[in-house]
Structure 1
Amino acid sequence: MAQKHLTRDHIVLTAIAFVDQHGLDALTMRRLGDVIGVEAMALYRHVSGREDLLEGMVANLIDNLFEDDLMTETPSSWEDYLQRVANATLPLAREHPEIFPLIATQPSEAPWLRPPLRSLRWVEDFLSTLQRFGFSDENAVSAYKAFTSFLIGGLLLQVHSTGVDHLIGFDGDEASNEESDLSGYPTVIKLSELLGQDHSQREFDDGLDDLIERIRWTLTK
């Protein structure tokens, strides 16, 4: 009976939940089948293999951004649109840290589809929206490239913003301090408190503001 109701969407959503809980390395077709309650071979009727499954997971998360409250409202300006896209995408990185790196690394449908806005639907929406606000062809494409470069970098930093102090052994844990001999790095030790501060949200917001200013400047040239 389970196989009768099995769909690609159900498989993809179950895989997303599995990776969120157990990590990407733990995902296999056999384990996913066990979670769903079917033999692994039953999954192959809906996904051709693990790579197809990973692409389905990425596509699901990216396209679902269109359902975010920020994206269902009509933007008042191109600046407002960029703010909405950026802040709709931000929770994606935070809520799915095990999956988000896939969005940056999985091959896309075409080489000019840039992560994280890597679907044809997203590129169409992005470029057409900017052109409705008066962007030329060249300025719209340039903004798409600049914005996606900022976004993927900023969101990957959000994924990895677990605290520099923990990563390099500033958390007071004896084991980590034994593994990280910092005696030869006096400047790092001196600045350890500053390095350990997490300002990722402010840096993301500031970077987005700076990008919007740069795009605005190009429009006046």
Structure 2
Amino acid sequence: MTQQAEAVRRIPLNRDRVLSAAVVLADEAGIDALSMRRLAQELGVVPMALYKHVANKEELLDGMVDVIVGEIDPPVSGADWRSAVRLRILSARRSLLRHPWARQVLESRTNRTPAVLGYMDSFIGMFLAGGFSVDLTHHVMHALGSRMWGFTQELFDDSANAAPAPTTAKVQAVMYQEMAARYPNILAVATAANHDDGSVVGQGCDDQFEFEFALDLLLDGFGRFHEEGWTSNRAKPER
């Protein structure tokens, strides 16, 4: 054992150290590899030592989400509401991209910790500070959904996560011909852009571009509704 490793093991254990180590372990080995036993091994302690700082695995995951939330930039002082919201969402997205497991964990959480609630409250506050009514802000939050955390459900997400079967150019040409005959509109849209293989939106689509494109559409729409004095009462059809 090196002197450096021994020195790390002698650092007093606390909640921040446990959570930081859990984030690093998930980053390096994946969220499925995270367990209280494995985390204790990484910290050089017995598993029971962890329970003085986190009650169980669920509380550990909640705390890891808090670490991610803590990485998101605060609202930019003096910026207009649109810029402040856009920058904050893109900061949240950068945090999620640094931690590939974070989206899965965020989607699994049913408990709202003070850190999560604080972020949501501050996020809502950017719209209210920009002059949005509580009514419009309520519907804005529904429209944004998970985008406030830097991700969104994508049309082709499930299929993109499956590894494509290797094909020859001849086989691919036949596949395109069949698609063109049976599903011409899908093919036209799917081949409309130059693609990169690392995408999760659709094979080769620029994920960041697509995320920002949709975000800007939403922000533009929110701004228009705000300027028009939109209210949900006026928008609801008469029965």
- With the length of structure 2 as denominator, give the TM-score of the two structures: 0.71
Provide the rounded CA distance (Å) in 2 between the counterparts of 1:212 and 1:53. 35
1:139 aligns with 2:136: yes
Which of 179, 183, 196 aligns to 1:187? It is: 179
Provide the rounded CA distance (Å) in 2 between the counterparts of 1:211 and 1:121. 23
Equivalent in the alignment of 1:30: 37
Equivalent in the alignment of 1:99: 102
SS in 2 for 1:48: coil
SS in 2 for 1:122: helix
Q: 1:138 to 1:52 in 2, by over 3 A?
A: same
Q: CA RMSD in A?
A: 3.5
Which of 45, 59, 68 aligns to 2:66? It is: 59
SS in 2 for 1:140: helix
Q: 1:124 to 1:40 in 2, by over 3 A?
A: same
Structure 2 unaligned blocks of 5 or more: 1-6, 192-201, 231-239
Provide the rounded CA distance (Å) in 1 between the counterparts of 2:161 and 2:30. 23
1:23 CA drift (Å): 1.0
Q: 1:92 to 1:171 in 2, by over 3 A?
A: farther
Provide the rounded CA distance (Å) in 1 between the counterparts of 2:143 and 2:153. 16
User: For each residue in 1:129-187, what CA deviation from the matched residue of structure 2 results, as whole angstroms up to 9, or x when unmatched?
Assistant: 22121111112222222223444584565xx69x9497332576xxxx9xxxx97x931
1:45 CA drift (Å): 0.6
User: For each residue in 1:165-212, what CA deviation from the matched residue of structure 2 results, as whole angstroms up to 9, or x when unmatched?
Assistant: 97332576xxxx9xxxx97x9318995983532221111111011101
Structure 1 unaligned blocks of 5 or more: none
Provide the rounded CA distance (Å) in 2 between the counterparts of 1:197 and 1:85. 26
Letter in 1 for 2:62: E
Structure number, greater radius of gyration: 2
Which of 119, 123, 127 aligns to 2:124? It is: 127
Identity among equivalent pairs (%): 23
Provide the rounded CA distance (Å) in 1 between the counterparts of 2:121 and 2:150. 22
Equivalent in the alignment of 1:14: 21
Equivalent in the alignment of 1:50: 57
Equivalent in the alignment of 2:79: 76
Q: 1:103 to 1:134 in 2, by over 3 A?
A: same
Q: Which runs of 4+ in 1 moved over 6 A?
A: none
When structure 1 is superposed on structure 2, of 44-53 and 71-80 the one drifting more is 71-80
